[in-house]
Amino acid sequence: MENLFRLDGKVAVVMGGAGGIGEIMAQGLASQGAKVVVASRNMAKLEEVAKKIRTETKSEAIAFQVDITEKQSVVQLVKQVVSKFGTVDILVNSQGANLKRAAVDFPAEDWDLMFDVNVKGTMISCGEFGKVMIEKKRGKVINLSSVRGVRATLWGGNEGYCATKGAVDMITRSLASEWAPYNINVNAIAPSLIYTELAKATLQDPERLQKYLANVPLKRVGQPQDLVGACIFLASAASDFITGQILYLDGGLTAIG
């Protein structure tokens, strides 16, 4: 029982590993013994993240560059990871884009960008890394969703983002069903407002922030580290009988409707 959450010997790939949420989740997985690959387009930042993980956790961590919206780039990443570590046990899709635009004047190119990153990127990553997991008949996939997949905001501008996260929820449930025969668990973490660069517009608007917090029972904004425990849980043996679930890390926001 004492090893229920340990990930010793497991290989974890964190897509979007250069971002605040991706970095903290990669560090959390490494703290439990996983060998971690952080991947995104920003190689300089990735190298910093990998070095920090190695220093602070003593676990192996390596950076690879990838464009999650391009299938061949992800195919190449899979080859690099398997060549380096022999397999993949855990996939975390933490990449994300969030552009606030009024519904009556939503640029098509911004809509496409969000769907490319949030939906297409998740689909491609799951598909390519899923091939490795299907072959070995074992794996854990953790997608990054949001409460905005099921709840609108009290202010405008989130039509595109909400749509992408609803799509991520259904990708998660669909793959959980399709891949259950291969003993692959597919779940999603769905946070509310988290203190990151993406949340600056809300965090710097006192009126909007207070309106938001009025609907959060715990009365605070989430921190990136609030996601770590859930990520470790869904990556570990502790969640072996859980699949197709969206875990809301929201301070109680979705509990009160």
Report, as residue numbers or ranges, the catalytic residues. Answer: 161
Kindly state the tokens that stand for 170.
């259904």
Q: How far apart are CA 48 and CA 44, in angstroms?
A: 7
What angle is formed at CA 54 by the lines to CA 53 and CA 56, rounded to 5 degrees? 65
- Tell me the sheet residues that pair with 187: 142
The separation between the first and the last C-alpha atoms of the chain, rounded to the nearest angstrom, is 36
Q: How far apart are CA 63 and CA 81, in angstroms?
A: 10
Helix axis angle, 71-85 to 121-136, nearest 10°: 40
Q: Which of 174, 173, 172, 153 is nearest to 162 (CA)?
A: 153
46 within 8 A of 52, measured Cβ to Cβ: no
Contacts with 108 (C-beta within 8 Å, 6 or more apart), sequence order: none
